């Protein structure tokens, strides 16, 4: 973070067009820290900027302290909000996360995890360009060369270059030092420890402009390079690469400087600050961990006092140099003036994302006429999902930006963009298209980029792939998106901005692709794996359930929506004639698919399409012919069920039914633990790994039979479970 300080100062005080008083202005440029581990550098620079304005131009500051990051707030670095440290409480310091989130003003994303920050920042740039047109905000991204090494970064760079994303500028802190290496990249003829490219080569390979700064600590070179980068007008993204030293002027350089650094108020601490504090050095606190005051029970409080004393010296030095502050304050005023001169506004055809949520609220309980399916027709779950999402896209003027891992047709994601400009979105040549090219078969980058698109607030990112790949590879980006959404909600009260990750070709119905693709595990990665309200999984079994489930989920505005849909064609059933609940009943998440005619002989809980089709069309008639009256529940969305009141949940699925139920699922056994509560019920439950191995390849019915999930096996298992329950009750008598 020390090595990046000067070029970040250049961006904040010279190149960024923004309004210090309005951190949430949508038309402003953004500085996004993809390098989330540089969080303390971000906080320190934000605090310095605030001090400049406070002392030299207080009229530039926000009227609400919640929109500021003050010098006092640095006391909150890596502090939990419930911290009870005296100065933290007395000075109303802000709790600052170890990696930045939107809980901090001017921060749009949660970043710092394995290249997600760069991908999501590029998503911000796509969303800004899509909403504002050519006169759009620039997204400046701070990163280091180590942060370029995750595979999703190369994928995201390819996406930006291919899309002619000229409004993105990466500022690269190139010092060759990571946590474990002092020679990350190849340099000249010397091989790198990690990669054999130099950063400029990586960017140039992906059709980025590259500007080199030989001394990344020289303000003249920094500002000159940044102004040159902003003047490039060839329609491509730009990277400015600053050659720096990690730990510059700190006393410890390279990878050795990573981590805690000098102990507070130690000799090294004093030496590092000597140039700043000058004669004031004698007034610096002199405690360190060896000092009894710091080592005793009140050590944390003493260290907090020392930290605050050091920060006050910084404040005094600033107060003593008013001419310099006035120059810097004038630059902050100029940044606002430049922003006003841009006159940025949404382009005339910009989509309106709120129309998606409005339609969802209006139509969640009724299937639109154009989506109704007649019994006997054949279609796929994926096609029903594509058509439903297309209706939302059409209603909002195109607010769904869709990408796929080279599977747009196969997963029916291409349907979402029907009626809009054909081909892939390109900022220069095809800005009205609604399909995105994210590097090819790149679920990693795709999830990251789409999360940034959603986070910007004017569009919804939609991505599709096999559930086997989308769920695990998209999970990190989904988690960071949910963290960022939660932080934004806490800071501003704004509702979540949804990201949709379609887990297509889900489950055993993809059996011909074998166990590498027909994955029962994917749901377990998402279901009940996020804080309440942050994510909703959808597991429809029949095409008519798609719209009610999707609309209900969108109406609740979670950060993540993950529909699990199968690949094969399915017959649309006459649910009424079969004695089954209407598809709209799925909106409660768990519902009574078949009501028993009497008190019910057995309770069965179903989850997943292939096993449910087998049960409804074949197993249920076998049970009825044998005189077995089954109470049958279906789990369409655990999270939608959890959103109901406790009273409503109990009425829909009484706890006693969970203790008497047997389950049948095409996903993993733990996804049914909520609904099958007895040991006997779980032991009898049918699931893909019941036989103790991954399943082989073959048509759906063959794979179901291998897993003992076919209708004959279901019938036998239910009979056996029911017979055991009867014997158990008899023995109790």
Question: φ, ψ for residue 464 (rounded to 5)?
Answer: -135, 145
Q: Is 319 domain-assigned?
A: no
Helix, strand, coil shares of the chain, percent, nearest 5, are 45, 15, 40
d(CA 98, CA 112): 10
Q: Which of 182, 185, 102 is nearest to 497 (CA)?
A: 102
Q: Which of 307, 342, 377 is the last residue of a domain?
A: 342
In a domain, 271, yes or no: no
Q: How far is CA 358 from the centre of its chain?
A: 23
Instruction: Indicate the pLDDT class of residue 84, thresholds 50, 70 and 90.
Output: confident
> What are the tens digits of pLDDT across the range 36-49?
889 999 999 999 99
Residue 511 belongs to domain with CATH number: 3.40.50.970
Who's near 228: CB < 8 A, 6+ residues apart? 211
pTM: predicted TM-score of the whole model, two decimal places: 0.95
Positive or negative torsion for Cα 316, 322, 328, 332: positive
3-class DSSP state of 559: coil
Q: Is the pLDDT of residue 470 over 50?
A: yes
pLDDT for 264: 66
Q: Give the separation between CA 580 and CA 573, rounded to whole angstroms.
A: 10
In a domain, 273, yes or no: no
Mean pLDDT of 129-146: 97
**Band of the pLDDT at 128, cuts 50, 70, 90?**
very high
Note whether 482 and 402 are same-domain residues: yes
Q: Which of 293, 317, 342 is the last residue of a domain?
A: 342
Does one domain contain both 601 and 550?
no
In the predicted model, what is the mean pLDDT of residues 333-342? Answer: 98
Whether 602 and 513 map to the same domain: the answer is no
Q: Which of 468, 609, 465 is nearest to 539 (CA)?
A: 609
642-696 tens-digit pLDDT: 999 999 999 999 999 999 999 999 999 999 999 999 999 999 999 999 999 999 9
Give residue 273's pLDDT band: very low, low, confident or very high (50, 70, 90): confident
Q: Tell whether 274 is covered by a domain.
A: no
pLDDT band at 258 (very low <50, low <70, confident <90, very high): confident
Predicted confidence band of residue 733 (pLDDT cuts 50, 70, 90): very low
Q: pLDDT tens digit string along 533-591?
A: 999 999 999 999 999 999 999 999 999 999 999 999 999 999 999 999 999 999 999 99
Half-sphere exposure of 111 (CA within 13 A, CB side): 32
Shared-domain flag, residues 623 and 564: no
> CB neighbours of 479 closer than 8 A, spacing ≥ 6?
113, 530
Task: Specify whether 549 is located in the same domain as 658.
Answer: no
For position 483, what pLDDT does the model report?
97
Q: How many CA atoms lie within 13 A of 8 on its CB side?
A: 27
77 and 133 belong to one structural domain: yes
Cα separation, 446 vs 100, whole angstroms: 22
Do 527 and 561 share a structural domain?
yes
Q: What is the pLDDT of residue 260?
A: 66
Shared domain check, 612 and 563? no
Both 643 and 522 in one domain: the answer is no
- CA pair distance 156, 124, nearest whole angstrom: 12
CA-based nearest residue to 455, from 492, 418, 413, 419: 492
Lowest mean pLDDT among 229-233, 438-442, 616-620, 711-715: 438-442
The CATH number of the domain holding residue 706 is 3.40.50.920
Instruction: Check whether 129 has a pLDDT greater than 80.
Output: yes
Is residue 717 included in any domain, yes or no?
yes
Q: Quick check: is 138 in a domain? A: yes
Question: Residue 728: what pLDDT?
Answer: 60
The full 3-state SS of 267-310, as one line of letters, equals HHHHHHHHHHHHHHHHHCCCCCCCCHHHHCCCHHHHHHHHHHHH
Mean pLDDT of 84-112: 92
Encoded tokens for 77: 């670095």
Give me the number of domains the chain comprises.
3
Residue with the larger pLDDT of the pair 443 and 289: 443
Torsion of CA 618, 619, 620, 624, to 10 degrees: 110
Strand bridging mode 590-594 / 30-33: unpaired
658 and 513 in one domain?
A: no
CB of 713 closer than 8 Å to CB of 719: no
Same domain, 493 and 597: no
* Distance in angstroms (rounded) separating the CA atoms of residues 653 and 663: 14
- Residue 480 resides in a domain: yes
pLDDT for residue 316 is more than 50 = yes
Q: Compute the distance between CA of residue 675 and CA of residue 486 in angstroms, rounded to an integer.
A: 28
Residues 558 and 669 in one domain: no
Query: Which domain covers residue 219, as residue numbers?
Result: 5-260+325-342
First to last CA, the chain: 73
Query: What percentage of residues in the chain have a pLDDT greater than 90?
Result: 84
- More reliable by pLDDT, 268 or 282: 268
Q: Do residues 480 and 142 touch, judged by C-beta distance below 8 A?
A: no
**Residue 276: its pLDDT value, please?**
76
Q: What does pLDDT average to over the chain? A: 93
Residue 367 lies in a domain: yes
pLDDT band at 732 (very low <50, low <70, confident <90, very high): very low
């Amino acid at each position: 973070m020390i090595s990046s300080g000067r070029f970040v100062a250049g961006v904040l005080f010279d190149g960024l067009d923004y309004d210090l008083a309005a951190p949430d202005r949508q038309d402003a440029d953004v500085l996004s820290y993809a390098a989330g581990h540089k969080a303390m550098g971000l906080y320190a620079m934000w605090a310095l900027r605030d001090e400049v304005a406070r002392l030299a131009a207080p009229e530039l500051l926000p009227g609400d302290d919640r929109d500021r990051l003050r010098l006092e707030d640095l006391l909150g670095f890596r502090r939990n909000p419930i911290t009870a440290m005296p100065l933290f409480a007395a000075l109303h310091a802000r709790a600052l996360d170890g990696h930045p989130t939107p809980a901090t003003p001017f921060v749009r994303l949660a970043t710092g995890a394995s290249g997600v920050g760069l991908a999501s920042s590029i998503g911000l740039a796509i969303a800004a360009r899509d909403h504002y047109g050519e006169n759009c905000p620039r997204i400046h991204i701070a990163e280091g060369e180590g942060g370029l090494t995750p595979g999703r970064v190369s994928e995201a760079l390819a996406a930006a270059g291919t899309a002619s994303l000229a409004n993105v500028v990466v500022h690269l802190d190139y010092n060759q030092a990571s946590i474990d290496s002092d020679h990350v990249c190849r340099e000249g003829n010397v091989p790198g420890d990690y990669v054999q490219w130099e950063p400029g080569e990586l960017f140039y390979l992906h059709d980025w402009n590259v500007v080199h700064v030989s001394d990344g600590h020289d303000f003249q070179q920094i500002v000159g390079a940044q102004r040159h980068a902003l003047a490039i007008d060839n329609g491509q993204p730009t990277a400015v690469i600053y050659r720096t030293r990690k730990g510059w002027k700190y006393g410890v350089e390279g990878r050795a400087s990573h981590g805690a650094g000098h102990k507070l108020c130690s000799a090294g601490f004093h030496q590092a600050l000597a140039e700043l504090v000058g004669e004031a050095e004698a007034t610096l606190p002199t405690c360190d961990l060896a000092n009894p005051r710091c080592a005793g029970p009140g050590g944390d409080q003493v260290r907090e006092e020392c930290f605050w004393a050091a920060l006050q010296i910084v404040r005094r030095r600033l107060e003593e140099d008013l001419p310099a502050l006035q120059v810097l304050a004038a630059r902050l005023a100029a940044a606002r003036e430049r922003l006003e001169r841009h006159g940025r506004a949404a382009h005339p055809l910009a989509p309106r994302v709120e129309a998606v949520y409005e339609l969802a609220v209006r139509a969640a309980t009724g299937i639109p006429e154009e989506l109704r399916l007649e019994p006997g027709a054949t279609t796929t779950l994926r096609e029903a999902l594509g058509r439903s999402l297309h209706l939302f896209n059409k209603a909002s003027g195109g607010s769904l930006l869709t990408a796929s891992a080279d599977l747009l047709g196969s997963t029916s994601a291409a349907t979402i963009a029907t009626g809009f400009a054909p081909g892939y979105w390109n900022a220069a040549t095809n800005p009205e298209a609604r399909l995105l090219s994210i590097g090819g078969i790149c679920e990693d980058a795709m999830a990251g980029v789409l999360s940034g698109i959603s986070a910007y607030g004017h569009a919804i990112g939609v991505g599709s792939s096999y559930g086997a790949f989308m769920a695990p590879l998209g999970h990190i980006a989904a988690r960071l998106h949910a963290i960022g959404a939660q932080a934004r909600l806490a800071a501003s009260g704004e509702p979540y901005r949804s990201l949709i990750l379609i887990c297509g070709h889900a489950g055993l119905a993809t059996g011909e692709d074998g166990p590498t693709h027909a994955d029962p595990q994917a749901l377990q990665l998402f279901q009940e794996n996020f804080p309440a309200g942050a994510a909703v999984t959808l597991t429809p079994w029949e095409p008519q359930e798609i719209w009610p489930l999707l609309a209900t989920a969108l109406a609740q505005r979670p950060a993540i929506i993950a529909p699990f849909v199968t690949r094969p064609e399915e017959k649309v059933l006459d649910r009424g004639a079969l004695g089954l609940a209407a598809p709209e009943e799925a909106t409660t998440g768990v519902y009574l698919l078949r009501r028993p005619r009497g008190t019910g002989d057995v309770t069965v809980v179903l989850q997943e399409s292939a096993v449910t089709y087998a049960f409804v069309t074949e197993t249920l008639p076998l049970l009825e012919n044998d005189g077995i009256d089954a109470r049958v529940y279906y789990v369409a969305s655990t999270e939608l069920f959890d959103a109901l009141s406790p009273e409503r949940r109990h009425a829909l699925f009484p706890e006693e039914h969970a203790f008497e139920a047997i389950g049948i699922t095409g996903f993993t056994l733990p996804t049914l633990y909520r609904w099958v509560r007895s040991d006997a019920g779980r032991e009898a439950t049918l699931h893909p790994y019941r036989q103790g191995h991954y399943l082989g390849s073959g048509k759906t019915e063959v794979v179901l039979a291998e897993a003992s999930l076919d209708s004959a096996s279901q019938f036998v298992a239910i009979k056996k479970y029911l017979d055991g329950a009867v014997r158990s009750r008899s023995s109790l008598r």
